[in-house]
Amino acid sequence: MNRLLLFGFAIILLFFLNNIFLNSDYITVIIAAVMFPILFIFFLQKIDVFERDELKDIFYVFIFGCVASFFLSEIYVLIRDYMVPENPCSDVMTCFFSVALPEEIIKIIPFIIVLKYRKFIDEPIDYLIYASASALGFAFIENIEYIFGSTDTGTIVALRSFLPLVMHMVTSSIFAFSIFLYINSRKTKYIIFGLVIASILHATYNSWGYLGLVILVLMVIYYARLIQSLLNISPFYDKSKENDIHSSSNFLSYIILSVIILDFIYDIYHNGIAGIMINPFRYFIILAIAFAIYRIISTKLSLKQANFIALGTRKNNFKFIIEMQDIIITYYKKNHNKF
């Protein structure tokens, strides 16, 4: 497995070097596309406060995500372009089947293989961390082509290298959470449910233009609640480490700041000051969304043992949600103080 992964990654590096040789601007595209995945990998490690995994394990899944995206997406895109020659995200339904569904499956493959054959996924928050890492690898490969081929001016780095990263992380984490529910119940319906919900959110974000940004903010709210909830049921929960989560909040603020700085530098380098002034209002929109993402996640980075808020309260009347809550309760009782 490791040799095959290294071979695939070596091919990607050769592909990058060849493109840099053909066009020196390609290196600035790689830098713009890779910066935020790297920063988010450090953020993912920082939220793992109770039984912190090593960075090399998270990077391993990130590289796995890159390789899976590079090779599998080529096949899927050929089929998609043949079946949907026009804009595949012209509407939510078309986008669901031609883009969102296959991409969610591609993104989750590295996570599932690591879950089965590696030992470092050993607590609930790891499902979110490693699914997010795989999604970051996928998004990195995808965003390189989008940024390099873009003829747009202004905020292209933020619109293509940051916001889609967040979307991919959220949808893959939702899918991974459904796999967690399946593992602890052996009911396949949760996997199907997770895939469908993740794909609907993905398709809606892609298809709704600027309204998709509203969907993204709502997705981030749930992502923040999921981080908090999964940490709260960790079998390694340690009250003395609760405040360690705040360092991840501070690091997130640096990520948000870097979005604006890198976006501005990239636009000046490729388009000049005149390119920025074509639509300066877009920078205020990106700044507002980036700050909203920071505030949403940072305010939820406070912990309380056994408090699982991602599925709401026990007062709701939806049987399906109550069943999921029961799985969480059973897991917590079974694993509490186990370690």
- Is the separation of the CB atoms in 227 and 47 below 8 Å? yes
Which pLDDT score, from 0 to 100, does residue 315 have?
Answer: 75
Count other Cβ atoms within 10 Å, centred on residue 336: 14
Cα atoms in the Cβ-side hemisphere of radius 13 Å centred on 334:
9
pLDDT for the residue numbered 29: 82
pLDDT, one tens digit per residue, over 257-315 is 887 777 777 777 766 666 666 666 777 777 788 888 888 888 888 899 999 999 988 77
**Confidence grade of residue 113 (pLDDT, cut at 50, 70, 90):** very high
What is the model's pTM?
A: 0.93
Residue 339 has pLDDT above 50, yes or no: no
pLDDT tens, residue by residue, 196-246: 999 999 999 999 887 888 899 999 999 999 999 999 999 999 999 998 898
Helix (H, G, I), strand (E, B) or coil at 237: coil
- Look up tokens 């903010």; give the residue: 217
Residue 152 is predicted with a pLDDT of 57
Could you tell me the two tokens for 61? 């899944």
**What percent of the chain stands above pLDDT 90?**
58
SS (H, E, C) 19-59: HHHHCCCHHHHHHHHHHHHHHHHHHHHHHCCCCCCCHHHHH
Q: What share of the chain is helix, strand, coil (3-state, %, to 5)?
A: 80, 0, 20
Where in the chain are the domains?
2-335
Q: Tokens representing 205?
A: 């974000």
pLDDT value at 317 more than 80: no
Other Cβ atoms closer than 10 A to 152:
15
Does an H or E element contain 196, and which? helix 189-207
Instruction: From 45, 201, 190, select the one nearest 126 (Cα to Cα).
Output: 45
What are the structure tokens assigned to 6, written together? Answer: 């290294």
**175: CB partners within 8 A, 6+ apart:** 104, 107, 108, 131, 194, 195, 198
Spatial distance between the Cα atoms of 55 and 279, rounded to a whole number of angstroms = 39
> What average pLDDT does the structure give for the chain?
88
Kindly tell me if the per-residue pLDDT of 151 is higher than 60. Answer: no
- Cα of first residue to Cα of last residue in the chain, in angstroms, is 31
pLDDT of residue 119: 87
Q: Please, which pLDDT band fits residue 109 given cuts at 50, 70 and 90?
A: very high
CA distances (Å), 258 to each of 23, 271, 304, in order?
A: 25, 19, 31
